[in-house]
Chain A
């Protein structure tokens, strides 16, 4: 029954989007983290989505779910601020902050939550359609 596959497909998308939201949350939480004594600050992370085929039988490509293949770190340099009085300052008086771009993360968050909502709606529609299918022939 192909309709039941929708729950797997939309469910995989929901879990992938919530993982993305999770990563965005940790990025935003670490937006103002400074580098420790080793000089390495927090690097922004980003999830990579990948299509995963979850159809059964002869047509495995008919239903395509999503999964998070990897979580990659943004390797760009962190923000450097001159603040010699800061306890985290290096010998030159500079403090290295994390390379999180708050604006980018907010956009990412809105996009993830919209996609999440879309998939929840897909699931609700599929559920109500299946419920009506169960009542077929009863009047």
Chain B
């Protein structure tokens, strides 16, 4: 029961973790913009999110039998949340659009754009979580509370 209510939040949590992972990666690229020989890195967000949520039930529309109504809550939570190991996203190297004499492949324009894009999407994921929480709190309120 509880896992069915928090399933949507679980999905957004995975997305948030991956977004912060990507934010850190892009920050590393920007920090190393002047380091000779540094190779810019990134990962495929869609693929990483698919991998991270593939074992999850109830989040992507497929409801597993484990979190049916009446299933023990604690066992459910252990199986779904606490025991799950997090797969690290597979890092890829960027192909330089312009070659550099010092073999550094950080493209500052691309990194800045990716950084801004990722920050915005991190924030929107946060808003989705907040919306989910508010929906759940509203559902828990008794009619007399307004």
Residues of chain A within 8 A (CB-CB) of B123 are: 129, 132
Interchain CB contact (< 8 A) of B34 among A6, A115, A138: A115
Stretch of A30-38, A60-68, A82-90, A99-107 on the interface side: A60-68
Inside 8 A of B34's CB, which chain A residues have their CB?
Answer: 17, 20, 49, 66, 111-112, 115
Q: Are A5 and B129 in contact (CB under 8 A)?
A: no
Task: Write the nearest CB–CB distance from B116 to chain A, whole angstroms.
Answer: 8
Please tell me if the beta carbons of B27 and A63 are within 8 angstroms of each other in the complex: yes
| Contact-residue bracket for chain B | 20 to 34
B27 with A49: CB separation less than 8 A: no
Find the residue from A9, A61, A122, A136 having the highest chain B CB count within 10 A: A122
Q: Are A3 and B24 in contact, CB atoms less than 8 angstroms apart?
A: yes
- Say whether B28 contacts A119, CB under 8 Å: no
Picked from B88, B91, B126, the residue with its CB within 8 Å of the CB of A132 is B126
- Counting chain A residues whose Cβ lies within 8 A of the other chain, the interface size class is 35 or more
In contact, A66 and B133 (Cβ under 8 angstroms): no
Nearest chain B CB to A12's CB is how many angstroms away? 7
| Minimal Cβ-Cβ distance residue in A for B31 | A13
Taking a contact as CB atoms under 8 Å apart, the answer to whether B115 and A63 are in contact is: no
Query: With an 8 A cutoff between CB atoms, is A91 at the interface?
Result: no
- Contacts of B24 on A, CB cut-off 8 Å? 2-3, 5-6, 9, 62-63
Q: Mark A10-23, 1 if CB is under 8 A from B, else 0.
A: 10110001001000
A65 near B20: Cβ-Cβ < 8 Å: no
A72 contacts chain B at the CB level, 8 A cutoff: no
A26 interfacial contact with B, CB 8 Å:
no
Q: Report whether A13 and B126 are in contact in the complex, using a CB–CB cutoff of 8 Å.
A: no
Decide: A122 near B126, CB < 8 A? Known: A9-B31, A49-B35.
Answer: no
Within the complex, what minimum Cβ distance (angstroms) separates B77 from chain A? 18
B46 → A minimal CB distance (Å): 19
Inter-chain contacts of A64 with B (CB < 8 A): 28, 31-32, 38
Interface of chain B residues 2 through 29 with chain A (CB within 8 A):
16-17, 20-21, 23-25, 27-28
B-side interface residues toward A, CB under 8 Å?
A: 16-17, 20-21, 23-25, 27-28, 30-36, 38, 88, 91, 108, 112, 115-116, 119, 122-123, 126, 129-130, 133-134
